[in-house]
Amino acid sequence: MGNLPVGQSYLCGEANEPLLYETIGACVDRIAAQYPDGEALVVRHQNIRWTFAQYRAEIDALATGLLKLGIEPGDRVGIWAPNRVEWCLTQFATAKIGAIMVCLNPAYRLYELEYALNKVGCKAVIAAEQFKTSQYLSMLQELAPELEHCQPGELRAAKLPQLTTVIRMGEANTPGMYNFDSVCRLGGAAEQQRLAEIAPTLQPDDAINIQFTSGTTGAPKGATLTHFNILNNGLQVGAGMRFSTKDRLCIPVPLYHCFGMVMGNLACMTHGACAVFADEAFDPASVLETVVAERCTALHGVPTMFVAATDLPTVADYDLSSLRTGVMAGAPCPLELMHQVIDKLNMQEITIMYGQTETSPVNHMTSIDAPPEKRCGTVGRVGPYQEIKIIDEAGRVVPLGGKGELCCRGYSVMQGYWDDEERTLETIDAAGWLHSGDLAEMDEEGYVQIVGRIKDMIIRGGENVYPREVEEFLYTHPDIQEVQVFGIPDAKYGEIVCAWVQLRNGAQLEEEAIKAYCRDQITHFKVPSLVRFVDEFPMTVTGKIQKFVMRDAMVAQEQQA
């Protein structure tokens, strides 16, 4: 794994195979030609089982349908759904026509949906009917009541000025919306010809995906990723698990995250492996039943998913002998959990991976034969074709064992944040280094340990919550004068969200009223679990608010409760 560091916290990952300089569409065509009869996709809850040749045909059907609707290269197409076959098709069909797929969090509420669609100027959105408590079509109708009276594809909405086209999943008909299946039947000879003509004009360095990632200040940012970024990250993730055409990966993590669509779908596609989906969302019994039924060799998950699977009372009843590898990522892995996963799930070669959306997402991985202590105590070493360094506040590389900010450079670094040059320049420096905001240290073998966060971020159940984003939403409440949001430790979720609120003169609010105000507007994991009403905030003599004082006070309060 590259030359081991000599005294300083810098390392370049060693590569054993070349990067792919091709588009995602070209990769699909190449793999389908190479392994036409290989099983490519299994979606158990929708009774889908396709070979690569069938998968490619379905992808092309959607791609030509989108062309018929007037979707062109560079147009932004939002996808808002849980894990379904339509999500997979949208991922590859948009790439084939050069449209930029925009991942919309299935848990978004109105405030976040409106912001995201307008920030990147989505021309079309493809939406499921509903998921859990989220009524997607109803929310779109609330934001764009004009749908009720417009022809499909001719939306002119006051709140969503660039959105013209809504495509809904399912069989029911909704005014102003196309049906997904009918769009897949729209394309004819002219569109097939157009698809063939577009292919050579697309370039690997073209933007193809926007992933929203929250910032420490202000609204979410649209990390803009290219074919080259995510195709090669999928390739390297698959290589890290030593994937071949014989592998079958169960993907219970959400597709809207890079974890699902890159480390899942693209890891499989680039290696001719099969992507397997058990259900729309994670359920431990459903996942293990699927692993058994499909003889899956690999399984992805965040630590809480693996806890749920290993804690199942019936876990010993499942024949998991087919399992070999997989990725655990998204949060630190306790050593005991690693042993449970190896022992109970037979995942002897499970790997730990780390990165961020802005690096497509993986830039560190542990070798499948690394000892459990390295697989838990660290995030591994830098991936192939990537460089990392750890720097102090002055930008100097720190000695081995020193703490500093982790920076990454290489093929996986995003183009930037969509339409936000200022925040892009704050994140990627003149030399091409992406600054993570994470505090890290490197040992003499090149293994990196994440030891803290520069950014004041909360990680609740594996989801990143950025206090400033929640604060800005709460400021929209007419009775709130000032608000500060921070996290405190929690046994179940790792951290929970707390808010200290100062009301306007004469205003009266209860804790539940604030939670209710949030509930239908921002994602559930961002809603404060604890709210305290205060008259003032602890501050330094220079007027800076001291969140650590608030955090300590809330921890003490919870311990006494």
Q: What is the DSSP string of 101-118?
A: EEE--TT--HHHHHHHHH
Q: Locate tokens 């064992």: which residue?
A: 401
CATH number for the domain spanning 491: value is: 3.30.300.30
**pLDDT for position 539:** 77
DSSP code of residue 492? T
Q: Please count the structural domains in the chain.
A: 3
The residues that bridge with 435 in the sheet, in sequence order, are: 407
Confidence of residue 1 (pLDDT cuts 50, 70, 90): very low
Domain closes at, from 174, 203, 232 = 203
Q: In terms of domains, do 248 and 348 share one?
A: yes
Between strands 434-442 and 48-51, the pairing is unpaired
Do 303 and 442 have their domain in common? yes
214 occurs within a structural domain: no
Q: What is the CATH number of the domain that holds 446?
A: 3.40.50.12780
Model confidence at 333, pLDDT cuts 50, 70, 90, reads confident
492 with 516, same domain?
yes
387 and 252 within one domain:
yes
Decide which of 148, 176, 203 is a domain's last residue. 203
Q: Is the pLDDT of residue 347 over 90?
A: yes
Q: Would residue 215 count as lying in a domain? A: no
pLDDT digits (tens, 9 = 90+) for 492-533: 888 999 999 999 899 999 999 999 999 989 999 999 999 999
Answer yes or no: is 234 within a domain: yes
Tell me if 477 is assigned to some domain: yes
- Residue 415 pLDDT grade (very low, low, confident, very high; cuts 50, 70, 90): very high
Work out the average pLDDT over 38-48: 98
Q: What is the CATH number of the domain that holds 109?
A: 3.40.50.980
pLDDT at 456 over 80: no
Is the pLDDT at 151 greater than 90, yes or no? yes
Residue 36 belongs to a domain: no
User: How confident is residue 304, by pLDDT bands cut at 50, 70 and 90?
Assistant: confident
42 located within any domain: no
| Pair (224, 326) in one structural domain | yes
173 to 65, 79, 129, 192, 391: CA distances (angstroms): 18, 19, 11, 27, 56
Residues 249 and 398 in one domain: yes
User: Are 243 and 354 part of one and the same domain?
Assistant: yes
Residues 292 and 366 reside in one and the same domain: yes
Calculate Rg over the CA atoms of the chain.
23
Predicted local distance difference test score (pLDDT) of residue 286: 98
Same domain, yes or no: 463 and 449? no
Decide if 483 is inside a domain: yes
Mean pLDDT of 362-380: 89
Q: What is the pLDDT of residues 204-254, one digit of tens each?
A: 999 999 999 864 445 789 999 999 999 999 999 999 999 999 999 999 999
| In-domain check, residue 212 | no
- Domain membership of residue 443 as a residue range: 10-19+220-453
Based on the fold, state whether residues 245 and 123 are members of the same structural domain: no
Residues 431 and 466 reside in one and the same domain: no
Q: Helix or strand or coil: residue 424?
A: helix
Q: Which of 400, 428, 453 is the last residue of a domain?
A: 453
| Alpha carbon of residue 444 to chain centroid | 31
Q: What's the confidence (pLDDT) of residue 376?
A: 81
Residue 247 shares a structural domain with residue 309? yes
The span from the CA of 417 to the CA of 534, in Å, is 36
